[in-house]
Structure formats: C-alpha cells, structure tokens
Amino acid sequence: MSTTDNPPILEVSEFNVDYGYGDDAVRAVTDVSFSLGQSKVLGIAGESGSGKSTLVYALTRLLRAPGIITGGKATLRLLRQENDLPFDLLNATEAELRGIRWSQVSIVMQSALNALNPLQRIGKEFNEVLKLHDTSLSKADRKARAIELLALVDLGPDRLQRYPHELSGGQRQRVVIALALALRPELVIMDEPTTALDVVTQREIVSKLYELRQRLGFAMIFITHDLSLLVELADEIMVMYAGRIVERAPATHLYQAPRHPYTLGLMDSFPPLFGERVQMSGIPGSPPMLKSPPTGCAFHPRCAAAHDRCREESPPLVAIEDGQRSVACWLHDPTSTHEVPVALTRRHVAASEAN
C-alpha cells in the first residue's frame, strides 16, 4: 500500500536486519515492506526494541556493526536530479551515500544535545554544514541562509552566537531541525525528536514540523514510541512490534479504529497530545527478548485476546478493509471463530474532531 497516488520517493521491500553473525545472530527487523509518497509523512510507532530505529538506520546505511542488512531492497527516487534514476540505497558506495546525505535525505537524531557540538556556537554548526555541501555559497551567503533557517523554526539570528547549553531543550531541537533542512532535502527522518521534551514543547515541535512540511513539501519519516504524536502529523502510520510491522493504515483510520491489540495498547499508553486528559492503562509486561522470541505471535504473552493459534503460528501481515489497512493478527483472519474484543471494534474520536 502506498502513502500516496504519486510515485513514491522511497520503496522498501522484504527488508531484514540482524545483529550479530551465524548462530549468535538476532533478527531485529523482519520482512518489512512499505513505500513513502512524495511530501507524505509516515509515522513509525512502537516501544523500545520494536526495530523502528534499527530499520531507518539500516535503510540510510548508518547502522553500525554488529548490525547487518541480511535481505531486501530499498530504493530512493532522487526527484531533483536530472536523470531521476532510482538510487539503490543498499548497494550504494560510501561516496554515493555521502552525496545524498543532507542534500536529499537528512536525519534528526534522538537527542539534540548529542547532535550539536557543545564546544561550538550554533552559527558554526550551520556554517560547516553549508560549506561542506554547497561550495557555491560565500561566507555571507551561508550566514544569510543560517538566519533564514533559524527563522523557519521561529528562532532569532542572535542564536547563532549561542552555545547549545545556552538554549532550552526545545530550542536545541529546533536548531537541529533547521540544520536538517539546510540543503532542502526531499526526505527528512526524525528519530524520536521530541522524546526528551516536556509535553507542551513536544506539541510545539510537532505543530512546527507539520507547518514546515506543508510549506517546504519534504517527505518525512517520524519515529516515536508515542502514537498520539502521529495522529495530527502523519498521513500513514506503521506500528512495529518485535521487528515486524503489525499494523499499517492511514493515520486517521488507525487512530479511530485500531485493529491490532498492540496498537490499542500503545494508544492507551500515552495521553492524547491534543484534547482532554484521560486515564491511561498501558500494556502489561515488556517487549520480548529478540534472542529468544515467543513462539507464534510475538505479542501473545501480553495480549488479552491471545488464544491457542496465537501461541503456535505467527500471523502474516494481510490487507483488510479493501486494502486500506494491513494487520498481522489472527483475530482478523477470515477463518477465525474468535470474537474480536469490543475495544478493537469501537471507533475512537480524534481530538481534532471532538474540539
């Protein structure tokens, strides 16, 4: 299922990632396929260890040993290049990859504090990125562009003289987002960019990202453990558990009617970012150890709807609802005689609808 009717900017198929080799290998990402449309936002949600960060670091070839890509394909379309040829991410050389990082694809890492050099003023960060990737710019041009980029994220030019520790967490994250946009990439990957921030600042950053995407037209992959952050931002959401996609659907469909018990659990783990406060119930237990995953459906030890088949067979990801959604859960198998829990049949009302 594509996130759009336009040709996708990124296509991934049957992608696998292991940690370690031979008998010690642990499968961290299993059989992941998806595509991302131009200017679209794909949200990837899941708890720690679900494989969501491993997936994007592997796709962008930033995964460090002992992480290894063990199968699949990943193709990027460089739409701004004259020949518009597909770029094979997995077989590209380091030099070819350097040629697309920042200018075509940029990544915002989890902690803005780690992304910025603590001994360097913010202005120097911008100057270095722009100088390295766009030699046509003069020093004055680079400064003007840095000011323009800071303005995009509502920060004044005075921030260029500051060191990272002189900025708040939210301001640092805005600086990192502005840096990621410095060379007008077509795809921006955000790996839990709001995790360390308070709820009000999270809300501001998500609203800002939404506005920037509308204005600048880049596509985005936004990774988070907090599904509520994606409802307003993403076009499509992919939920991962134990390295697999367990549900994928347009954001509003997924939020209004989660079909996988894990998606429902994630939704009940975080208060909605917008709207009234509600009591959260969360998910019992912890994610599985990937070295010794449970038999059958990896979620069965934590799932209130688990039955015998779940403990024995792993459910495949199958399209339901006329292909609008995919889900990996035996409850949605046409041959299943098990009743779908009422919580998975009700329609949730998005905060934006309720207001």
Q: Which residues are at the interface with ligand SF4 (CB under 6 A)?
A: 260-261, 297, 299-300, 303, 305-306, 310, 315, 329-331
Ramachandran area for residue 164 (φ above 0: left; ψ -120 to 50: alpha; else beta) = alpha
Residue 177 half-sphere exposure, CB side, CA atoms within 13 Å?
31
Q: How far is the CB of 261 from ligand SF4 (least distance, A)?
A: 4
Closest contact distance (angstroms) between CB of 294 and ligand SF4 is 9
Hey, what are 5's tokens? 């009717």
Residue pair 214/245 in contact (Cβ under 8 Å)? The answer is: no
Other Cβ atoms within 10 Å of 82 Cβ, number: 6
Question: Nearest distance from residue 126's CB to ligand SF4, in Å?
Answer: 46
Rg (CA), the chain: 21
Q: φ, ψ for residue 325 (rounded to 5)?
A: -140, 150
CB of 246 to ligand SF4, least distance (A): 7
Provide the minimum distance between the beta carbon of 265 and ligand SF4 in the complex, in angstroms, as a whole number. 10
For residue 315, the minimal CB distance to ligand SF4 (Å) is: 5
Residue pair 291/210 in contact by the 8 Å Cβ criterion: no
Q: Which is nearer to ligand SF4, 46 or 261 (CB)?
A: 261
Please state the closest distance from residue 313 (CB atom) to ligand SF4, in A: 9
User: Judged by CB, which is closer to ligand SF4: 49, or 265?
Assistant: 265
For 352, other C-beta atoms within 10 Å of its C-beta total 13
Closest CB 110 distance from ligand SF4, rounded Å = 28
Burial class (CB in 10 A: 0-12, 13-18, 19+), 14: exposed
Between 148 and 313, name the residue whose CB sits nearer to ligand SF4. Answer: 313
Question: What backbone phi and psi angles, to 5 degrees, belong to 240?
Answer: -115, 145
Pick the closer one to ligand SF4 by CB: 272 or 315. 315
CB count within 10 Å of CB 109 equals 18
| Smallest separation, CB 305 to ligand SF4 (Å) | 4
Nearer to ligand SF4, 60 or 263 (CB): 263
Nearest to 156 by CA among 171, 166, 136, 170: 171
How far is residue 228's CA from residue 45's CA, in Å, rounded to a whole number? Answer: 10
- Which residue's CB is nearer to ligand SF4, number 222 or number 330? 330
31 and 244 in contact (C-beta within 8 Å)?
yes
C-beta of 218 vs 330, nearer to ligand SF4: 330
Cβ-based nearer residue to ligand SF4, 79 or 319:
319
CA angle 171, 177, 179 (to 5 degrees): 105
User: Are the C-beta atoms of residues 53 and 191 closer than 8 Å to each other?
Assistant: yes
Closest CA to 307 of 346, 267, 337: 337
Task: Please identify, using beta-carbon distances, which residue of 67 and 341 lies nearer to ligand SF4.
Answer: 341
